[in-house]
Structure 1
Amino acid sequence: MKTQVDDHAFSDFYHNWFLKLEDILHHLMDVDVLSEQSNQVAVNDDDQHLQALVSTVTTHLKEYYTVKWASARDDVLPFFSPTWLTPLESAYCSWLTGWKPSAAFRLLNSFVGKPGTAMAAITEEQRRKIEVLRMKVRVEEEKVEREMERLQVVVADRKMTELAKLSSRRHDNQGSVAEGLVEVAVRGVMGGLEKVMKAADCVRLKTLKGTLDVLTPLQSVQFLAATLSLYLRLRQWGINTHMAALKLNIQD
């Protein structure tokens, strides 16, 4: 099982990863502001640069999931109650250790047809593809949720409770055997949680990839800028709320 030192190691990784995410957002915002100032909804002569920016974002996000999955092999539980997030961030990322994929479509819909943005030029074909993707993602979400519900039933199963009671009887051979059975059962539950977490992460990645495949390079940049800006605001609001609460406690 992981130690507190290991948890701190992932917290350090997340802190540095988020700082780089902020830097990437600045580059996205520069393009977004420039496109609005020039009143353009399409950039034909600089698509390669835009695609490189999009690739930078997706590569950085994949790095997070790579490290997350590697850490979860040792202990998946911290990812269901992350100490590296503020309570506000945790509330937003409460769907199986992360953001709920379908939330991306609500954000996307808030930009569709918005004047002065590349989304103003979104086509009916793009709208159709996004709707098809949304329905597929919802099916995938429900599949993961059913697996999580099944796992919760296993955890609450009476046999697990009985094994736990027996394992506390360390004074006889029966207790030793039961303790070993509990250890095996717990490993099975942890493995199930890890599997559900990865399945949820895969839906998140598929949602992102599917959305970017439909959008033009400039639309993708604006969508990613809006998404990362939301993450940044959530973290800043969460930190500010936490600091204000600490200040009140000190004054009391």
Structure 2
Amino acid sequence: MDRPIEFFRLDWCGRAVQLEYQWVGRADSQAPLVVFLHEGLGSVSMWKDFPARFCQAAHCRGLVYSRPGYGQSTPRHPDERWGVDFMHRQAFEVLPALLAALKIDPRQQQLWLFGHSDGASISLLYAARYPQALAGAIVLAPHIMVEDITIISIEQARDTYQTTDLPKKLSRYHQDVDSAFWGWNTIWLHPPFRAWSIEEELTTIQCPLLAVQGLDDEYGSLEQIRGLARRVPSTELLELPACGHSPHRDQPTTLITNASDFISRHTLGGEPR
């Protein structure tokens, strides 16, 4: 049974912020633990029931959280502008602080990351910085560099946000929808961000990776996951037809089947406990 939303306090960027998190799936402390990292406009609630469904199928525990600026976590300060290294800071500062606060020690348990879009890139950066920390990672539509198709779609998202009821729709998932939207949109469209790339950093990853992307992804080409596979030999690819940028929404059954099998094959003892 899923537990209620909880919060923990983090001193970050010179001020105190609260992060919301929720446990889902099995309560067994010996089961593999999957930490879910949301997309650039995501949050705990925006995952809906996918983490619980996945953890039930994969026989895992799950931890879902909202990064600063998203969901019910502390919104961005009105003057706060994220830097080009914003995903690195999430991977090297916020995620380790969350694990430490919840007494999650990767040396003592089988820790997996399950990231989508920006969350997938953050997962890859964590795996690269801490190569011994993870049992594995599942990354949906990761960004390893910036492509023209990505910028065009993010520009279109900006126009949609300014001319339609998109803010009202997103407000169901964020206490401060402008904080969530403009934090993401502004940095991705910041000209210096066009040169952002984590391609060289990926080479230190040692854990198994399942990289998933839809054939109709409007935010990136298949070069994102194929480039990842060239740099990390432990990568398996899953390319999904009839699927856009969000495989967990467009092809949930196929994704759950393949990702839970991937965890099973790479779990100590041969299958999740």
TM-score normalised by length of structure 1: 0.27
* Larger Cα-atom Rg: 1
The higher-RCO structure (CA 8 Å, 6+ apart) is 1
Which structure's residues are more often helix, by fraction?
A: 1
